[in-house]
Structure 1
Amino acid sequence: MAAAAGSVHAQLGSTLGNAAIGSGTSNALAAVIHQAGNSAVRWQETTDANQIRVRQYLSPATGLVYAVSWDGPAMPDVSALLGTWFDRYRQGASAALESASGLHSSRVDGSDFVVETHVRLRDFSGRAWLPDALPAGVAAADIE
């Protein structure tokens, strides 16, 4: 299923209908809503003029953004995507960097908030999710 929608991003943990922020760039293209077959996995996807793709995973019942993912030749505005969770991400990423043996991957793992990022050459990707907010039938592995 695919239907055209607006070009706004809601922050992680907010509802798409109450999106308080814009796309973060005037280069954003229109968003498209997708649903994976008969599954509960539903997401809004945008790709901007810089070829950065952002997916926001939505609860079918409430429109809550329970996860976000991104990939492209640069990082998106992660603070805009994570919203109120950004400070925890930044603190966790700083701590992980101090103990990391490499700079290519990081994981900030809490009981209520998880972020994974990967960098390889000019390929930036990542995903963040709220484990307690995953809809029934949705696993972290479904967030791509």
Structure 2
Amino acid sequence: MWSRVRRAGIVTALALPCSLIAVQSAHAGLGGAPMTPPTGSSISTRTIQPGSSAANAAQGVMRSASNAASSTSASYTVRETALANGTVVREYLAANGSVFGIAWRGPQMPDLNDLLGSYFPQYVAGVKAVRAARGGGRGPVAVDQSGLVVRSGGHMGSFNGQAWLPPALPVGVSGSDIQ
């Protein structure tokens, strides 16, 4: 009897930290708040005015919120996190602070479960459908649905990808701006 009680206590003690981690990740990712940066990562942010060309946005034209030119396009924020492993994750935030797009590149794949948040199951289903249609295998993946687009590829030591929510893109922003 005592050993069952002891085992239950140990299982509870081990499960509690795991459940707290799961609760933390549920609040970050695509469609929600930006991710909580892991220890050892560095963060930079910049505000982009979509009225400029996509090439300028890709080159990192930076404007502070105070000097951004007014136009019909809404500005958005790009939050870049350099992880300790060398992978860089860019989160594209709408004016309300929600993440409408994510891009990554680096030697290791980021945790897509965390980055895609509640959209991760939809992504997994899309990957299964793509692989079933082409007869299995590995390689670059493109999930292109009306509510979610994810493109991921690369090889060992060099991974990259983008994900965005088409209905959540601010006016003047397209999927090609997520880089």
Shorter-chain TM-score tier:
0.7 to 0.9
Please report how far the alpha carbon of residue 58 of structure 1 lies from its aligned counterpart in structure 2 after TM superposition.
0.6
Which of 162, 165, 176 aligns to 1:130? It is: 165
Q: Is the 2:89–2:104 Cα contact (8 Å) retained in structure 1?
A: yes
Q: How many residues align?
A: 130
Match of 1:22 in 2: 36
Which of 18, 30, 44 aligns to 1:12? It is: 30
Q: Residues 46, 104 of structure 1: CA spacing in aligned structure 2 closer, same or farther, 3 A cutoff?
A: same
Cα distance per residue 1:20-79 (max 9 Å; x no partner): x633x434x1311122345734210011111010000011x2111001111111110110
Q: Is the 2:108–2:156 Cα contact (8 Å) retained in structure 1?
A: no
Mind listing any 5+ residue stretches in structure 2 that lack a counterpart? 1-24, 49-60, 62-67
Give the secondary structure class of the aligned counterpart of 2:42.
coil
Match of 1:71 in 2: 105
Q: Is the 2:80–2:88 Cα contact (8 Å) retained in structure 1?
A: yes
CA RMSD, aligned part only?
Answer: 2.3
Give the secondary structure class of the aligned counterpart of 1:12.
coil
Alignment map for 1:25-36 (pairs within 5 Å): 25-27=38-40, 29-36=41-48
Which of 87, 97, 102 aligns to 2:131? It is: 97
Which of 52, 57, 60 aligns to 2:87? It is: 52
Which of 89, 109, 115 aligns to 1:81? It is: 115
Greater per-residue strand proportion: 1
Give the secondary structure class of the aligned counterpart of 2:123.
helix
Alignment map for 1:114-129 (pairs within 5 Å): 114-129=149-164
**TM superposition outliers: structure 1 runs of 4+ over 4 Å:** none
| d(CA) in 1 for partners of 2:152, 2:42 | 25
Greater per-residue helix proportion: 2
Q: What is the identity, as a one-letter code, of the residue corresponding to 1:124?
A: F
Please report how far the alpha carbon of residue 130 of structure 1 lies from its aligned counterpart in structure 2 after TM superposition.
0.5
| d(CA) in 1 for partners of 2:98, 2:31 | 6
| d(CA) in 2 for partners of 1:99, 1:68 | 26
Give the secondary structure class of the aligned counterpart of 1:31.
strand
Give the secondary structure class of the aligned counterpart of 1:74.
coil
Quote the sequence identity (%): 37
Question: Could you tell me the TM-score, scaled by structure 2's length?
Answer: 0.65
Question: Could you tell me the TM-score, scaled by structure 1's length?
Answer: 0.79
Q: Is the 1:11–1:82 Cα contact (8 Å) retained in structure 2?
A: yes
Tell which structure's C-alpha radius of gyration is larger: 2
